[in-house]
Structure 1
């Protein structure tokens, strides 16, 4: 089972206090936590266990001292802590700034301390001060960290670095700290609670409370200031991620997910999306110079809401599909140490004449901070060189938003479908991209049409959250009844279908929406009819970021429907294949490698807990994690695609395993294996939907090696290299976990 922990804090087991972190933010831990605050020795974690095969979840209690597979330890491997600690540019920039800031014994507060790196930097800086010149002055460092698993790691790190007595830990959220917890207000704030958007981890509310309750007037801060920047871009790929109406119009397949008059009934949420824009830099056409949007000073209390109006002159004619944004940190007061998340096509802040300036741009690939993308509605905005564009930017406590206007009143960005709000479906950009993809749509259309030619079903069941398959089957088989399970979309899915039924030529009296997480259909639900056609993409709303094989939930649901399937029922997809490829992934591996010393502080004790790859004990394996391979920096396939195992949906779910021998087709350093699912839509295996790395709409599973392995083409590898490998996988049919083992030959 996969596990999810919620970072919602409670001061009383009966009183749930919701965090101010917005659901859309790219939260560092990618999880939240619920804990009891009665006393630190008796704190317990309420952990949400999620079963990918059923979609069900349940709360279980894990005591602080437990260290089992049910503990949060396994969950930390999916966070970005490890990636962040491997970002040497970030760490060096903070060290330089802290050494420039902490020049006397003082009271330092570290909010969101994590493993305590910034706290230890501050304590070391005070230790290096000439105490003879600071007679009587005393310094102290307080590390504030609310996340219990990180507090446990923090204590371990302080212990191995002999810092336990130099740093006082407050296991609480900073906005729960008051004057009774600290002897005096802090002179210096060191903190790094930034996400790719800048504000999503609650920077503004945290700073507001800190300035009100925890800091002296005019404190020193590291960072000192953050500035957000943007640039207008044209990019067909980015357009396809949000404009379903115009993309599906090109398909001409008579399925209208976003029909005329309801153009935005399926849409991506209006927010910034974190993305490695360097990966698509060759497809991006820049339409403006970079422009400054907002400036946030950490040394003074920020406002919850801000607005600015910008007048931007396009540098060439084109169509604005998106705004790419990033931020730059000025870490010290003097303005000599910077860190930037700008894409590589942007020159660094250190291009100034001051040679003392040190700039740490994100030149080395890292995953904890990316650029962000804001989509321009519809087909985008056509612009002309030197014809001004007006940009309105707004921020609240946790996010930024934009409104682009042209000074030509004849330009209209797109329809304003306010009347669709009640039945509007908000999907991920990747899902919108899939639904607008001509090749994907034609494959689904061909598979369903072929199935209907063999047998006109009396009853068809859509097992997942596919509105596309629901409309397609209702349209292609006008005499059939369709039941859609919609375990994630639920009532929203039903409202949506009512709205688009007329445009797609079917009547809702032939459709039934179940809207339950459990597939528990009986003959009473089907009016005593057997199911003739069972279909799925498979797609489960809200689970897009999971490992590819966790969509085998479709197999589980097919199994639960076994008793009401007709004898000759057709199942689409009829089979799934786990495929893989040996990969060179130097950037990803570097970001996940074992830690040794980080700016002089031993962090080796965190490696197994954070899921590092490297010199781990033989009994420990690095976890398989979901990534968009195309966004993983430098990548190279070292083998042909291989088949590991098959999953036959004509039979009920059962344990299964498979093995593949891999021959390398290119020489290089193998850092791991990319694994994905291919879905076979027909018994002849002629229609295959692949979720492999060549497609950008799906995440793949990545299994990283302990160490990079030198490999070469059969018969031509170096004496220390390998010419082949073997990979073996087995599926646990009870919990959906996939066990993966490998060996180099």
Structure 2
């Protein structure tokens, strides 16, 4: 059975109707989950298995029959671990039906179907009794309900319900407890993701709107690979603090709670950011620990386990606060049933005034709803600003009529500051328009830049006051873009505006190039690696059907990833492989590019990284990928502001680095689809 799904095309701006097969949701949802990453997380699997074996042994030592409840079973791996460890029966709960069906297949394939019952329900809907889903309450509770923030997947309500209804009093729990840690720091890099800062343009200062400056920010956690933020990018204001712990073997409350840690400031500086992570103890003694700590907390950073399904969290204080070395501080964490937030006050134990109980941060300025955190960092990047200002300065004239085409962009503001006669800007949403209006008002520029909430193909000469455009400019940046080439939407806008452009109009950027390099990932390859027998545990956690789902993405398109968080080595040179001329309209015929990239370094090639570079003027360009040359060992430095595209190969290609093997590429840009079809093969001499 086929169905048609309507999707907004991020490149062309059109609504596309796509025919999908009946297994679409199954493939897509499993493909987008983190099951492959978790199954390749040897440290996680080993610690869970050790904890489960110990819990089973403790129950057996009491002479009891071992009944296990596994909430959020996923592939059924933890339930199979429990049976292998000697459990008598397992109830495995999985609310997501496609995954529950997959778990059933996996359990049957491994010969455990008579001792594992898959229950396709939310755990809070599971019943116990002769006619219920479970015949009796369990005496071992096994779960993997955690996310980067620990509680974001509803762990607390699930545990609360399980203790009240599904498990015996005094049950064993694996994991046994979780401990949340935090460290208060000053970081120019991280703070640039939280607030719009002052921007210098030609000796003038662009100030943020008061509402943006005072806003507490977005309530959602910023989860990143904190190991890739080197210690020189932040200054610890305080020590690593134990904020709170949760004992999962006892009744758990999902009620709002507040915990504080008191300490003396180690350095004078601006308290801005809280770095946070958690550990889980798999046993009561705390001898089996699975830690999420970043690698720079380890004596040997290379020994830190890598995982992408659990990372670390960055929280931004509602406002930065100047503190002095030796000052007594109180860091407070609050949580409801799904999220955490932090605040900083004076130490109440010393009798000093404390801040009121902090409320959950909520954006009141709308800027945090319009701009993502990487986008804030991009807008606050002074080098980037200087690059765009230099390009604008070289193309603007006193009589220039400018039109900006980007989402929530400050380029039109810069154009006015540089003396353009008239400046217009197309905004994709009312919210985005309102944020830029507040920027203009805060800088006494209201009316000098006219914001138009209208589609490019609907814009008329009347909307421009009878003027024709002499400078069409864009970063380009669009909030709907996922993959690098989706920003070619600028080209489609330019084409729609052709009748409003002066014959000699300047297009900035005037062109773009798609670049690629074949890479060996240090760790990211794990999210796409085939799953078979888990290392150290003799069961097959994946069957062919589930593996096909995890491989499904490769047949569709590359994936967007912020590669600054995922170290890799370039095995070939970086090369421009496709050109797009914005001075001309989008062509009707496809653009094709073929070629070879010889391997220059030995290693396992996991795929290719792809990004866009924009030629603003003849001598000024900006890269959304590599920010500098690849060094002799192949190390790459990537832009923190944009995601790059990654095309994973189904299995690694081994390179000897002697130039006798190459990556052969065949790329075709389809103008009607706004997409690039890609084919890669390994060529050997």
TM-score (norm 1): 0.78
Q: Using a 3 Å threshold, how does the CA distance of structure 1 residues 383 and 668 change in structure 2: closer, same or farther?
A: farther
Alignment match, 1:53: 11
Aligned partner of 1:704 in structure 2 is: 648
Q: Any unmatched runs of 5+ in structure 1?
A: 1-41, 130-138, 352-359, 413-417, 614-619
Task: Tell me if structure 1 keeps the 8 A contact 2:212–2:367.
Answer: no
Decide whether aligned partners of structure 1 residues 496 and 591 sit closer, same or farther in structure 2, where only a CA change above 3 A counts.
Answer: closer
CA RMSD of aligned residues (A): 3.6
Aligned to 1:432: 376
Contact 2:514 2:611 in 1 (8 A): yes
Contact residue 390 and residue 404 of structure 1 kept, 8 A:
yes
Please, which of 601, 610, 624 is the counterpart of residue 558 of structure 2? 624
Query: Is 1:221 paired with 2:165?
Result: no
Task: Give secondary structure in 2 for the equivalent of 1:52.
Answer: coil
Q: Residue 387 of structure 1 corresponds to which residue in structure 2? A: 327
CA contact (8 A) 2:211 2:364 kept: no
**2:246 aligned with 1:296:** yes
> Post-superposition shift, 1:526?
4.4
Q: 1:526 to 1:105 in 2, by over 3 A?
A: farther
Q: Any conservation in 1 of the 2:433–2:453 contact (CA below 8 Å)? A: no
* Selected match of 2:97 from 129, 132, 148: 148
C-alpha distance in 1 between matches for 2:651 and 2:213: 48
SS at the partner of 2:410?
helix
Q: Structure 2 vs 1, CA of residues 154 and 508 (structure 1 numbering), >3 Å: closer, same or farther?
A: farther
Contact 2:34 2:527 in 1 (8 A): no
C-alpha contact (below 8 Å) 2:11/2:485 kept by paired residues: no
1:170 aligned to 2:119? yes
TM-superposed deviation, 1:401: 0.9
Query: Does the 8 Å CA contact 2:318/2:343 hold for their aligned counterparts?
Result: no
Q: 2:255 touches 2:337 (CA, 8 Å); kept in 1? A: yes
Shift of 1:376: 3.9
Match of 1:472 in 2: 414
Q: Give the whole-Å Cα distance in 1 for the aligned partners of 2:390 and 2:353.
A: 42
| Aligned equivalents of 1:540, 1:238: Cα separation in 2 | 22
The answer on 1:113 being equivalent to 2:67 is no
**Distance of aligned partners of 1:120 and 1:59 in 2 relative to their CA distance in 1, 3 Å threshold:** farther
Whether 1:341 and 2:292 are equivalent positions in the alignment is yes
Tell me the CA shift for residue 527 of structure 1.
5.4
Corresponding residue for residue 449 of structure 1: 393
| CA displacement 1:531-566 (0-9 Å, x = unmatched) | 4433222222365xx221222222233333344444
Q: Which runs of 5 or more residues in structure 2 are unaligned?
A: 356-360, 627-636
Measure how far apart 1:203 and its partner are: 1.2
Distance 1:147 1:423, change over 3 A: closer
Q: Deviations over 1:579-638 (max 9, x none)?
A: 12222213122343111102222125232311389xxxxxx76962222222114x2223
Give the drift of 1:422.
4.8
- Matches of 2:14 and 2:181, distance apart in 1: 42
Supply the distance in 2 between the matched residues of 1:240 and 1:695 (Cα, whole angstroms).
Answer: 14
CA distance in 2, matches of 1:646, 1:265: 43
- Could you tell me how far apart the structure 2 residues matched to 1:563 and 1:650 are? 14
Secondary structure class of the residue paired with 2:124 = helix
Residue 98 (structure 1) shift: 1.5
- 1:578 alignment partner in structure 2: 514
Q: CA deviation at 1:55?
A: 5.4
Cα deviation, residue 574, structure 1: 2.0
After the TM superposition, which residues 137-536 of structure 1 pair with which residues of structure 2 at under 5 Å, given as runs? 139-179=88-128, 180-246=132-198, 248-249=199-200, 254=204, 256=206, 258=208, 261=210, 264=213, 268-283=217-232, 284-299=234-249, 300-347=251-298, 363-376=304-317, 381-384=322-325, 386-406=326-346, 421-422=364-365, 424-426=367-369, 427-453=371-397, 456-458=399-401, 460-477=402-419, 479-484=421-426, 486-487=427-428, 490-508=429-447, 511-514=450-453, 520-523=458-461, 525-526=463-464, 529-536=467-474
In 1, Cα distance between the equivalents of 2:177 and 2:302?
Answer: 16
Contact 2:560-2:646 within 8 A present in 1 as well: yes
Which of the numbers 593, 597, 611 marks the counterpart of 1:662?
597
Alpha-carbon displacement from aligned partner over 1:484-518 (angstroms, at most 9, x marks no partner): 2x22xx222232233232443433375133166x8
Deviation at 1:46, TM superposition (A): 10
Shift of 1:317: 4.4
Matched, 1:636 2:569: yes
Which of 30, 33, 42 is the matching residue for 1:79? 33
Query: SS at the partner of 1:467?
Result: coil
Instruction: Give distance in 1, aligned partners of 2:346 and 2:416.
Output: 42
Determine the C-alpha separation between the residues in 2 that align with 1:279 and 1:481.
40
Question: CA offsets, 1:151-185, max 9 Å, x none?
Answer: 34223322322233332222232233345443333
